[in-house]
Amino acid sequence: MTEGNTELNSWGALGIPNGFTIGEAAGKGDCFFDSVAQGMNELHISGGPFDVKLLRQACFNYSDCNQGCIYDSQTNKAWRQAIEEDAVAGKYATNNFQEQAHFYIYMANIRLTAAESSHLGGAIWGRPEIEGRMLCQIYGIKLHIIENFHSSGQEVIGHQLVDSSRSRSLVEHSSLYNDPQIIHFLNEGLCHFFPILRTTSVPNKSIERGAHLPPSEGIQSKNNPTDRNTLHLVRSVAASQQQVSLSVTQPQHSKQGQKSLKVLLK
């Protein structure tokens, strides 16, 4: 836990009950899929074990088969339209401003992990209201997201429940932790997701959270508030081999961006 993340020590304020803890997640755009995969593995959801690659592929398959199906029953918006509008709104950017091209670019890149898409400028980040709903439909799960961010200098904490049909805000949420089909995770702001796991599922060795850079260019939006060097250790289910990734984030004005060294544990 870094000094910059000391607010996460206040788990009581976040409504996380005893027996649960905030885990680690992969960085560079894979954090959503990694967090969901860890939660699904913990609950032994059918079809596992899960990892980032498998869940990205599942979203590709769903988008391919259901692009004309209804995403929003109130507006009759189809999945394809929802994905295109989300791209136009800046959730992921492209070099082609023709709206009809966004869906094809999405399909070409949603399967790619952060490592596989590094040459494209970054991976497509998972979003609860898009890929989250897809995964809920495919695997019969629900997603409970704790949103922790600051607005006008004030800390804001909210709770969202996502299922296959919608996302809705919650007031009472303590009972969710007893549901065997609900995956819990934290959105720390700017779509930085971390899994909330039972303490028996988390490795004893404590390591810092993975480096999460807001998308810089190419497939992602253009914000990047990082303005100092940071060093992180990452351990997650994102990689096929057990590994620790040592990531050094350079200041924003550097053209080199982020350098990463990977050391395999034997």
Residue 27's closest CA among 251, 235, 253? 235
Residue 81 DSSP one-character state:
H
For the chain, 266 residues long, the average pLDDT of each consecutive 10-residue run is 39 81 89 96 94 97 96 93 82 49 86 87 87 97 90 84 91 85 88 88 47 39 34 42 35 40 36
Burial degree of 152 (CB within 10 A; 0-12, 13-18, 19+)? exposed
CA distance 91 to 87: 5
- The full set of domains in the chain, from first to last, is 18-224 (3.90.70.80)
Angle between helices 52-66 and 31-42 (to 10 degrees): 100
CA distance 47 to 40: 9
CA 37: distance to chain centroid?
Answer: 10
CA distance 117 to 135: 21
The per-residue pLDDT for 219 is 38
Q: Per residue in 68-91, is it b (16+ CB within 10 Å) or e — as a string?
A: eeebeeeeeebbbbbbbebbeeeb
Kindly state the tokens that stand for 72: 């929003």
The per-residue pLDDT for 143 is 97
Q: Which residues pair with 168 in a beta bridge?
A: 161
Q: CA 124 → CA 1, 53, 75, 105, 116, distances in Å?
A: 27, 12, 26, 10, 11
**CB contact set of 15 (below 8 Å; sequence gap of 6+):** 146, 157, 159, 173, 174
CA distance 52 to 192: 15
CA distance 139 to 122: 27
The per-residue pLDDT for 110 is 93
Using omega within 30 degrees of 0 as the cis cutoff, is the peptide bond preceding 49 cis? yes
Angle (CA) 24 115 124, round 5°: 80
